Each structure stands twice: as structure tokens, then as C-alpha cells.
Amino acid sequence: MLIYHLNNLLILVWAAIFCFHKPSKNKNMIFLFLSFGQLYLLTIFRFLIGYDYVMYAKAFMDLQTQDFWNFTYYDWEYGFVFITKILGMILPSYTSYFAVIAIFTLIPVAIFIYRNTEKVWIGTFMYINFFLFFMQMNFIRQAFAVSITLFAWQFIRKKKFFWFILVILFASLLHSTVLVMIPFYFLAKMRPTGKQVIFYGYALTIFYFSSTGILNLITKIFHQEYNNTQFITEGISLIYAVVPIIILLFTMLNAEKILKINPDNRYVISMVFAGTFFMVIMARHSILERFSYYFFIYIALLVPELISSVEKYGFGRVKNNAMLPNETPIEDVKRFKGQSIILTIVILVLSYAMFTYGMFENAHGVVPYTSWIF
């Protein structure tokens, strides 16, 4: 467990060196190179880390003995089977296989954070502490699919549905659960107001009581191996949804100001709403953890945007339906800066507390960390 805490500490060290004083695009790039570099090292040097580690290692070896044109392997999607076979032809071992796959899962995330927020260190900290990083140590196929969906972000905010669908369909060749994003393309257009809260609250109530039947029906068609299993009948601790709910509360209180700094943030907020929705439901059905990641990864953008909005306009609802003037008095500038620092500390502490809780619960099977090099 210690190595994961040291990883977090190093992230903050890199942030202090490159991001706190006179941040720039070049400094952000260096920060991300160092931060994701150490995440990559954690990934490639692991041994028997992640509940699905053995399954993927075995599959890599099994598929090398299978006829190349036979793309059937358990419940795996054809696209991932094809990629595994191609890599099996050129790579010497499953450890090198994991190393190559990690490149495809981590680099898109780093690019996503770099392109879409100036506070890259906060986005990276969210990515790690909300267990998104651990996907590619455990749910490898899905981690790959999630990374592919990040390229659809530009099509969501530019309202280019055709290109959005193409990206999602391509990602579904790696993991079919990504198809859940299609209906949420339309829900993402909802403006973050009380109506959005009411909509998700109503959907949560209806789905909570009818979800078992719905999920069993779905798993009769897709991923039959989950039908009537513990993944349907048992849930994950509701504690994992507490911090996301708190962040959404902060977000709704500052929604108008978040949209002021970038109108496209309405889609970011909606994505995190959807992700949190699945996190609440997964307290009853653990399988829905897999659905939550497609949306909740946008927490890496939402929190930096929330903090930026407080830094610029202060925290709280806009009074008299008017935004603050462009020429902000110096005393307000200092007050807003203080508010943003306090909010940053609160969110970092809460997310780190949840991360620590997850470590004690051995989330994704990553504890204790073991390596093949020692």
C-alpha cells in the first residue's frame, strides 16, 4: 500500500515544482510526462496485481496457440482478441503485452487532461484517487475502451453525433459496455439546474427498485457470464459515492460560474452526474462499477473547472441573476483566491480519504503491490 501513497506524494511534488508558480503549457507537459511516467512504471512492473491479471496473462498465451482467424475467446470482444493476437506475434511475454497495452490506456488520458484543463495536476490527482488509474491494472479491456472514448469528447461538445457514434462503435470492439454512452449523448445536453437533479433522482428511484430484472435481461444478451451472478445480486460500498455526491453539490452551487468560464462545461457536469448515478446504483449491483467509469473519468476535468470558477468569480450562486463584473475589486480577488485554495484542499483531502479507504478494501485487487523485478 505504501507505494501508492508515495505515488500520490510524488504527484504533489511534481505539481509544486511545475504547476504552482507561473504555470505554462510546457510545464504542464513536463508534469504529465513525469506523473504518467511513474504510473506506467507501476503498471509494467506489477506481478499478480489486479483481480483479472491471471485471466489476461493466460489469454495472451492461449491465443498464440489458436487459429489466427478464430476471434472467439470466452466473452471477449473480437477487437480485443484481434489486438491480443497481433501483439502475441511480436511480443515475447505477457509482461511485455501488459506494457504495450498500458501505453494505449495511459497516453490518451494524459492527452485528454493536457488539452482540456490548465490545472493538469488536479485532474491527474482525481484520475488516480478515484481509482480510474487502477482500471488498467484490472479491467484492461475496459480501460482500453474508456481511453478510446476520450477521443469522442470533441464530438460531444461540437455536437457531431455521427463522429461520436463512430468512436463509440470502435471502442465497443474492445468492450461492449461502452454502448451505454449512446443514450447519454442526449442527456449530456441537459443544462445543470435543479431539473437535472430531479431527473437523476427520479431515474435513481425507478431504477433502484427495478434494476435486478433489467440487468438480468440485459446480461442474457450481452455478457451472459454475469447473468444471475454475484455481480448482479451484490453491490459495492455506498461510501464510494459519497465524495462524488459532495463534489456535485459544490458544482451545482457554482454551476453558473463554471459555465461562465466555459459553456462546454455543461457536458462535463452531465457526464459526472451520469457517473455518480451509476456509483450510487452499484451499491446494489457491483457490475455497474464498469459503466460508471465511462462517465466519471470526466471528474478529471470537472474539479479543475470548479476550482478555476471559484478562483475567478468566487463560490456560491450568482446574486440577482447577474455575473460578477470583469473588473473585480482587489479585495474580492484575494477573497476568491482564498476560497479556491480552501476548496482545493477540501476536495484533495476528501478524494485522498476515499482512496485510502479503497486501499484498505483492496479495490481492484491492487494491494499489496508485488513486482516481478524483486
In angstroms, how far is CA 139 from the centroid of its own chain? 12
Query: What string of pLDDT tens digits covers the 374 residues of the chain?
Result: 899 999 999 999 999 999 998 889 999 999 999 999 999 999 999 999 999 999 999 999 999 888 888 888 888 999 999 999 999 999 999 999 999 999 999 999 999 999 999 999 999 999 999 999 999 999 999 999 999 999 999 999 999 999 999 999 999 999 998 999 998 888 887 777 776 777 777 676 777 666 666 676 666 666 666 666 666 667 788 899 999 999 999 999 999 999 999 999 999 999 998 899 888 888 877 777 888 999 999 999 999 999 999 999 998 866 554 555 555 677 778 889 999 999 999 999 999 999 999 999 998 999 999 998 86
pTM of model > 0.85: yes
**Interatomic CA distance for residues 352 and 161, integer angstroms:** 36
What grid cell was written down for 241? 459515492
Query: Which own/partner pairs from 49-53 qualify as long-range (CB within 8 Å, at least 24 positions apart)?
Result: 49/137, 49/365, 49/366, 49/369, 49/370, 50/134, 50/137, 50/138, 50/140, 50/364, 50/365, 50/366, 51/138, 51/364, 51/365, 52/138, 52/139, 52/140, 53/137, 53/138, 53/365
Helix H segments across 65-193?
Answer: 78-90, 94-116, 120-129, 135-138, 140-149, 153-157, 161-172, 181-187
What grid cell was written down for 173? 470492439
DSSP 97-130: HHHHHHHHHHHHHHHHHHHH-S-HHHHHHHHHHT
What SS3 class is residue 371?
Answer: strand
What SS3 class is residue 46?
Answer: strand
Per the CB < 8 A criterion, the answer to whether 333 and 270 are in contact is no
